[in-house]
Chains A and B, each alone.
Chain A
Amino acid sequence: MRKPLQSSSVDTLHGDPDLLIKEYFRSSPEQRAASRRILANRFRSFNAIPIVLDWASQPNVNDAFDGAVDLLAECHDIALFKDAYEYLLALSRLFSDARHRQKLAQCEQYWQVFVIGIGCAYHLAAAERLRLLQKIASASVFLPLLNSRSIKACIIDALENIADADGDRRWIEEYFQWLTKNDPDVYIQNYAIEALSNLD
């Protein structure tokens, strides 16, 4: 029996559109570089972003993490990131129970790629990206997952990128300084110290 047509997150005329994302991750580095701008421009709904995040953690895909970050970096619509943020928040809350350890670990990986992707999304205004990263950093108050070392390091890296793109350097500098003094994790304190030195 023929499968019914499915609604999709990618704008295309033929076939199963999400296959385009699959094809991207299955292709060579050269093919990825040639296609990612066109593919990212066809994202019509935030639904494309969780699909990309999911591919990022596939162990049998070459350079999956970088491939996902590079694809997110080519997105032109901040609304997709804002909606994907709400989605990730809801997903993480759904699995915040200790019974869902594996799924929560998966969510942590999603957040890492998402945060780095925001930092690299050079078509978007630095101020918009900064606001979203500020929301993510603030959400750690009610979502402990966002306090993980990996995610905090990703937030610092992403903020460094925003600072380089003429974001609000003062806020970023103050945030890094706050981390150097207040973060309970010495690794993150040192990470923030290094990030501060890179801002000079």
Chain B
Amino acid sequence: MSTILPTLEDFGICAPVFIRKLDKRADWHPDVEDTARAQVIAQRIFPNSDRSVFSLFSVDSVEAFYSAITGLNALRSPQNNNTDFIWIRPDELADAGIPIVSVVEGKCRQSSILHYDACVSAEAAVRLCQNLLVAGRQSHRCPKKMTQIILDQRRSIGCYALVADSPHCHCEDRAEL
């Protein structure tokens, strides 16, 4: 098995972007007419509710991508899952009228500062999905084997999100490289 860490190009990412995790990759590809697609996707990715705050991870470098994948999986069971996501450019969020606010979350500082809350109304969610579909945006998958490689690498540098008794988390040092 390859132990090569993925690059941003593997996912078509041109940083800076935000990552929105999908429950399942098929959520981006509902089996519906094209005219209804944006609406259905929006309901799946930003479920309409009285709580309209959704998590995003900011990715401005490949190290930030690894930290985001770590943050998304560190507390899962098991940890090595497929990680399905879409990426969204900051201007695409702004065009859809979606404000974001930094909300530090998680034990690894480097990973936690990448976390944002987006306030998304039902209308803004449809607008965003419509714009992303027009732009030809695809969903992506960081496969479980690749997720495992990233987590192993983070574990080896003592990431606090993964190693409870780590003396020092070197994720920050790597981010500054």
Contacts and interface: CB of A to CB of B under 8 A. Distances in A.
Interface of A: 29-30, 32-33, 36-37, 59-60, 62-63, 65-66, 70-71, 73-74, 112, 116, 120, 122, 148-150, 153-154, 157, 160-161, 164, 185, 187, 191, 198
A85 B173 CA distance: 49
A70 B51 contact: no
A65 B82 contact: no
B49 A153 contact: no
Contacts of A112: 24
A150 B26 contact: yes
A149 B29 contact: yes
Contacts of B144: 160-161, 164
Nearest to B48: A59
A66 B76 contact: yes
Contact of B29 (A66, A116, A157, A187): A187
B26 A70 contact: no
Contacts of B75: 29-30, 32-33
B49 A60 contact: yes
B117 to A, nearest CB: 11
Contacts of A157: 24, 82
Interface of B: 23-27, 29-31, 47-51, 55, 75-78, 81-82, 105, 143-145
Chain A contact residues, majority secondary structure: helix
A150 B48 contact: no
Contacts of A73: 77-78
A116 B24 CA distance: 10
A175 B74 CA distance: 32
B144 to A, nearest CB: 7
Contacts of B26: 149-150, 153-154, 187, 191
- Greatest chain A CB density within 10 A among B30, B48, B75 is at B75
A198 B24 contact: no
Contacts of A30: 75
Contact of B81 (A120, A153, A191, A198): A120
A60 B47 CA distance: 8
12 contacts: A29-B105, A37-B77, A59-B47, A60-B51, A65-B23, A70-B76, A120-B81, A122-B78, A149-B31, A150-B31, A160-B144, A191-B26
Nearest to B47: A59
Nearest to A197: B143
Contacts of B30: 149-150
A149 to B, nearest CB: 4
